[in-house]
Amino acid sequence: MPPAKPESAVDRDQRIGLQRIRDFLKVRTSYDVLPLSFRLIIFDTSLLVKKSLTILIQNGIVSAPLWDSTTSTFAGLLTTSDYINLIQYYWQNPEAVNRIDQFKLNSLRDIEKAIGVSPLETISIKPTRPLYEACRRMLETRARRIPLVDYDDETGRAMVVSVLTQYRILKFVAVNVHETQLLRKPLKHLKLGTYKNLETARMETSVFEVIHQLVSCNISSVPILNSDGVVTNVFEAVDVITLIKGANYDELNLNVGEALQKRSDEFPGIYTCSIDDRLDTIFDTIRKSRVHRLVVIDEDNRLVGVLTLSDILEYILLEGEGEDAKID
């Protein structure tokens, strides 16, 4: 057997940087990530879906924990996936458009059954558990956010504390773990991101078609290209919420270009990187800006791949940990 190749300085720094991040995640709790002051909006499952949309838009949020007041229990998390399921139901049952206005949040599971999609797993974690454990649960269930639910010591009743997102976790790491500066290997040398079989669309593509891409591929965004393959924008799952506010499903007949014009003026734009960029600079971007994904482009702004926060989270938790640590 030939002797093992000596570890390079870059590989050693990468390994040390990843280990420092994991050590940090194991000694900090989900509570630690929460800001000193924050607002939490919880929806009762008896609320009309139409009203929930209005509240989300008015408050600039895209998800909310659900509470069943009849049983005084946590009932899951409302996300853009639920609204996309509703759109699919409308698509398959156009005659039901009048009834959709009367749907309540507790009807969403019936809609999942009607359109034949698997119900999203209702996951949560106690806020006192290690942050590393919350990250593992998110990866195992492919969830992009996880509710923090505590329990009263005397009554055992659940209390929803907050919702933890991948972005908030990675920003917490970027701000507090200085060893992210050791992650200097470029993306082209890492198994990080998606570079094959990418879903794309054009400005002329119908919104319905892009929604089908989001659902069938279980993705949260679709890059928008021009005729030369240059990235001009990204259609995100959250864009759907703006389109159907006020239960105006006619907006779904728009094309992508028309739909993106309805975005809020506060939309931060899209973030890009190249395969030569490194995780240390990407963490620096996450620390400074509200990033949910990076579109990987070449020197001519043509699409190369997509790097999501899920990709980054899985890498910093599992890279080099062996097969037993991998997520199925």
Cβ-count burial 47-84 (b if 16+ within 10 Å, e if not): bebbebbeebbeeeebbbbbbeeeeeebbbbbbbbbbb
Crossing angle of helices 9-27/309-318, nearest 10°? 100
Q: Residue 222: helix, strand or coil by DSSP?
A: strand
Phi, psi of 120 (to 5 degrees): -70, 140
pLDDT at 312 over 80: yes
Model confidence at 324, pLDDT cuts 50, 70, 90, reads very low
Beta partners for 305? Answer: 296
pTM for the structure as a whole: 0.91
Task: Give me the phi and psi of 145, to 5 degrees please.
Answer: -155, 155
CA–CA gap between residue 169 and residue 131 (Å, rounded): 8
Query: What confidence tens digit (pLDDT) does each residue in 38-89 have?
Result: 899 999 999 998 899 999 988 988 899 999 999 999 999 999 989 898 888 8
Please tell me the least confidently modeled range out of 71-75, 93-97, 209-213, 217-221.
93-97
